[in-house]
Structure 1
Amino acid sequence: MSNEKKYLTTASGAPVGDNQNSITAGHRGPTLIQDVHLLEKLAHFNRERIPERVVHAKGAGAHGYFKVTNDLSKYTKADFLSEVGKTTPMFIRFSTVAGELGSADTVRDPRGFAVKFYTEEGNYDLVGNNTPVFFIRDAIKFPDFIHTQKRNPKTHRKDVNAIWDFWSLSPESLHQITILHSDRGIPATLRHMNGYGSHTFKWVNANGESVFVKYHFKTVQGIKNLDVDLAAKLAGENADYHLEDLYNSIENGDYPEWKLSVQIMPEEDANTYRFDPFDVTKVWSQKDYPLIEVGRMVLDRNPENYFAEVEQAAFSPGHFVPGIEASPDKMLQGRLFAYSDAHRYRVGANHEALPINRAKTEVNNYQRDGAMRFDGNGGSSVNYEPNSFDGPKETPENNIKPFEVTGFADSVAYDSEDHYTQPGDLFRLMNADERTRLIQNFVDHMQDVEKDEIKLRQISHFYKADPELGTRIAEGLGLSVPETAK
């Protein structure tokens, strides 16, 4: 066997210069479509499983409505947020991330929190999780990350070595894995957890003024979590425990409710804040940007057919309405492409026309044909533009707000390499019992990792976040904190 070191290549055999940072316009971005390595990774990743979702395969859904309770029209011209009392129909899909379609509900895993608002200006999808941060901050790492959460290609079993090898080599994951291994890592029900947009988004008002926002859905039912032993018991006895609970609560008239609030950051603060506000591995301090109430979301109707409504529901962070736009968040930028691409592959080119995904407004475009086209396919109307036959035309007033980009196109990382302050702060906010459970969860998850090298590398990250955290996890694993971490 040759000892020659292998180098990473594209599918066409070209060497890859940077597999950690996507190519952006300037240091902050946005991401450039010329990054063919990023596009190849995301496009191939979206086609790795058929027919279920690559991630978020197991889910539950419900219909409901969103009602505005606070006038924030000075920040956004989005019509569905335009006046107090305005009500918009919506559909939500909750999900686990890593498991397959038949996996258990009560595993330790983030929960997807995807909301589709059927607004009068088209569908707006807010596709988040039950955590305010994520494991990585650049979409170019997403396929690699999810591979570690799936099955080993040789054993076809979940692989704790791959999980912790990746996390220990990606210290930006520390904040998310601390949340994941805390009490909130296993919600008691889907009704008793918060939801977050996680990413930073841009709001634009009628005067063309913009701010950056983060979304927080706070459960009115209160936060409740499961003990690890009870969660394991339920996984064996009722793998659909969360689906059952959500369905029964709605069927019995006990309608779940969440209050939506946002943090609002003036646009100019983005260049002076103490860390990059577009880094999805970090939260904004609520002391700096307090929560402002927007409205409430109520779920009051179960699906009539799971496949037609929950399984075929297709959400994309790229589904915006006027007044809401993307930010330079690199993880978000990748998702703008990847989600709709996944649906085109998984459900089909015409997935937007399915009843669960169809906009309540009239859809007018020049997209025709494709597999399973089941509507009039545009009839005899013209199928190109520009044209002289009164076809639908663009509306310049709905262009995005222009934003400045500077710098050289390059593969660059975020400025901040401080992956430790926020997870350390989170640990120090916990009481003694919560700390003990967190540490035991980490120890239990890491104890079967075969290489001490991986354990010690991760222990160093824990120690840098908080010496007590690192020391107690090391002791639980029968190891010592590396001197290099102190």
Structure 2
Amino acid sequence: MADRPRLTTTAGAPVADNNNAKTVGRHGPVLLEDYQLIEKLAHQNRERIPERVVHAKGWGAYGTFTVTEDITRYTRAAIFSQVGKQTEMLARFSTVAGEQGAADAERDVRGFSLKFYTEEGNWDIVGNNTPVFFVADPYKFPDFIHTQKRHPRTNMRSATAMWDFWSLCPESLHQVTILMSDRGIPTAPMFMNGYGSHTFSFWNSNDERFWVKFHFKTKQGHRHFTNREAEQVIAKSRESYQEELYSTIERGEYPKWDLFVQIMPEGEEGDFEQKTGWSAFDLTKVWPHGMYPLIKVGEMELNKNPDNYFVHIEQSAFNPSNVVPGIGFSPDRMLQGRLFSYPDAHRYRIGTHYDALEPNKPRCPVFHYHQGGEMPFGLRTNPDAYYEPNSFNGPVEDPSVKEPPHRYAGEVNRYDYRAEADHFSQPKALFNLFDDAQKERLFHNIAEAMNGIPQFIEDRQLALFDQVEPAYGAGVRQALAKVKSESDSEKQTSISTSHSASAAE
């Protein structure tokens, strides 16, 4: 016992007895003066923080990013300054819809969030395992998320709400097709790609801007579950992703991804829209690789499990507005909306100074004039220089890192470019990439997900599949007929069994 640390209260006072409450006599009531008991119970009541509204269930690890190719002609970002350079980073993967207790192996989009601790501040990529999303305008994001959550009356997930929304939003077709395909249930985080999804921008030392898409390609290969395989996994464990990621890293089998970028020089976006029929900044669309090929950048490796999940993963806060000199934004509407909603969510969930928490704090010096608020730990400002400008050696601005201006200008209005966009050719191209077996699984996955929804919603969604490709709609219709027949048969068997049991009684 002599070599073990002494147990204390949070204020540092030593604890003599950590097993028995202070009472009046052997069997008397507990005293209010037992401050050590009160502290212990009070902290237990506050061990949880609000879970994320979306991406609540997640798994993560630390690692390193290594530059393997020179892209300094596109960006001045310090993380890419030289080949061979390594940067510490943190990754968190997640499902979108499920709560913290949800099963890992559910059919859902997976979050793919990365934080790079660069010498000029933290750079975060907050993306998904798909290159597109269901909606293109942030005004519709809360509505979409409501369809993925529990129905206010039944408190259950609603297939009717999901398909009603999707069938009224043709722009969702591309993402729905990916979600219902084989890639809808990766077997573990290391067997899926990651994407920044949005259009971001690079700018170089000559103040030239380039639009950019980020792609993280898994080096472990793609592995996916069918619905039946996922059900078997969930029946045994709801933590299959956590088990796989944690144990893989503990064994020293470090998962890796290659980072690629697509580059579009600023000014080409107009020609791009004329050629393709959609905006380069539309989150529901991809840039064709034939027009903008993948350019290799570097390699990401996850090689360290956090020593405390709550501290490092649950408190982690990934924020698309965390950029560094050389990396910027674009007119992508969904990205613009997330620049507000993500830091706002973090301030609500984990506090005003969330960026000072262990997994979020930069590894470079931090100087600012924020003060006060809840738990302002880690502030490094000079106490005499608590405003700016000042005469007391406080931090000052650095014009050398000023970002070049965007070229965009126009009238302020609520523009709807989605009504004019082509929402069908990209889902069609994806559908035609599938072989016959992949198409059959796609049809069956959709049919199982649609089974039981109102007929008018089913008809509306099938009409959208027909517009993508007649074979798409026909295949889903056939699968629906089969699933409905099987469902009716199961119900009849259940009724017969119930009647037989009643007769026996």
Return the match for 1:297 from 292, 296, 300: 300
1:462 aligns with 2:465: yes
Instruction: Provide the residue aligned with 2:114 in structure 1.
Output: 115
Instruction: Provide the residue aligned with 2:128 in structure 1.
Output: 129
SS in 2 for 1:203: strand
Instruction: Measure how far apart 1:262 and its partner are.
Output: 0.5
TM-score, structure 1 normalization? 0.87
Instruction: Provide the residue aligned with 1:26 in structure 2.
Output: none
Instruction: Provide the residue aligned with 2:313 in structure 1.
Output: 310
Please list the CA deviations of residues 27-54 of structure 1 after superposition, one character each: whole Å capped at 9, or x if unmatched: xxxxxxxxxxxxxxxxxxxxxx970000
Identity %: 51
**Which blocks of at least 5 consecutive residues in structure 1 are unaligned?**
1-48, 480-486
State the one-letter code of the partner of 2:474: T
Return the match for 2:426 from 419, 422, 425: 422
1:285 aligns with 2:284: no
Return the match for 2:367 from 364, 369, 373: 364
Instruction: Provide the residue aligned with 1:391 in structure 2.
Output: 394
* Cα distance change on mapping 1:152 and 1:301 into 2, 3 Å: same
Instruction: Measure how far apart 1:388 and its partner are.
Output: 2.3
Contact 2:207–2:403 under 8 Å retained in 1: no
Instruction: Measure how far apart 1:452 and its partner are.
Output: 1.1
Instruction: Measure how far apart 1:234 and its partner are.
Output: 1.2
Aligned-partner Cα distance in 1 for 2:380–2:402? 27
Instruction: Provide the residue aligned with 2:103 in structure 1.
Output: 104
Q: Which gives a bigger RCO, structure 1 or 2 (Cα 8 Å, sep 6+)?
A: 1
State the one-letter code of the partner of 2:267: E
SS in 2 for 1:51: coil
SS in 2 for 1:477: helix
Instruction: Measure how far apart 1:478 and its partner are.
Output: 4.3
SS in 2 for 1:296: strand
Instruction: Measure how far apart 1:474 and its partner are.
Output: 2.3
Instruction: Provide the residue aligned with 2:475 in structure 1.
Output: 472
Instruction: Provide the residue aligned with 2:496 in structure 1.
Output: none
Instruction: Measure how far apart 1:380 and its partner are.
Output: 1.7
Moved more, 150-159 or 225-234: 225-234
Contact 2:115–2:318 under 8 Å retained in 1: yes
Instruction: Provide the residue aligned with 1:62 in structure 2.
Output: 61
Aligned-partner Cα distance in 2 for 1:206–1:381? 35
Contact 1:369–1:377 under 8 Å retained in 2: no
Instruction: Measure how far apart 1:228 and its partner are.
Output: 1.3
Instruction: Provide the residue aligned with 2:435 in structure 1.
Output: 431
1:353 aligns with 2:352: no
Structure-to-structure mapping, 1:22-421, within 5 angstroms = 51-273=50-272, 274=276, 275-375=278-378, 378=381, 380-414=383-417, 416-421=420-425
Aligned-partner Cα distance in 1 for 2:282–2:342? 20
Instruction: Measure how far apart 1:417 and its partner are.
Output: 2.4
Moved more, 323-332 or 265-274: 265-274
Aligned-partner Cα distance in 2 for 1:379–1:231? 55
**Which blocks of at least 5 consecutive residues in structure 2 are unaligned?**
1-47, 483-505
Contact 2:123–2:324 under 8 Å retained in 1: yes
Please list the CA deviations of residues 43-99 of structure 1 after superposition, one character each: whole Å capped at 9, or x if unmatched: xxxxxx970000000000100000000000000000010110000000000000000
SS in 2 for 1:250: helix
SS in 1 for 2:102: coil
State the one-letter code of the partner of 1:298: E
* Cα distance change on mapping 1:463 and 1:306 into 2, 3 Å: same
Instruction: Measure how far apart 1:210 and its partner are.
Output: 1.0
Moved more, 379-388 or 460-469: 379-388
State the one-letter code of the partner of 2:166: W
Contact 1:69–1:294 under 8 Å retained in 2: yes
Aligned-partner Cα distance in 1 for 2:446–2:413? 37
Instruction: Provide the residue aligned with 2:29 in structure 1.
Output: none
* Cα distance change on mapping 1:172 and 1:50 into 2, 3 Å: farther
Aligned-partner Cα distance in 1 for 2:72–2:462? 47
State the one-letter code of the partner of 1:132: P
Instruction: Measure how far apart 1:236 and its partner are.
Output: 2.2
TM-score, structure 2 normalization? 0.84
Contact 1:259–1:296 under 8 Å retained in 2: yes
When the two structures are aligned, how many residues end up with a matched partner?
A: 430
* Cα distance change on mapping 1:408 and 1:376 into 2, 3 Å: closer
1:448 aligns with 2:466: no
Instruction: Measure how far apart 1:235 and its partner are.
Output: 1.4
Instruction: Measure how far apart 1:254 and its partner are.
Output: 0.3
Aligned-partner Cα distance in 2 for 1:378–1:388? 14
State the one-letter code of the partner of 1:445: A
Aligned-partner Cα distance in 2 for 1:161–1:381? 60
Instruction: Measure how far apart 1:454 and its partner are.
Output: 0.6
Instruction: Measure how far apart 1:232 and its partner are.
Output: 1.1
Instruction: Measure how far apart 1:377 and its partner are.
Output: 6.4
Contact 1:368–1:377 under 8 Å retained in 2: no
* Cα distance change on mapping 1:179 and 1:376 into 2, 3 Å: closer
Instruction: Measure how far apart 1:462 and its partner are.
Output: 0.5
Query: Which of the two has greater helix per residue?
Result: 2
Moved more, 436-445 or 370-379: 370-379
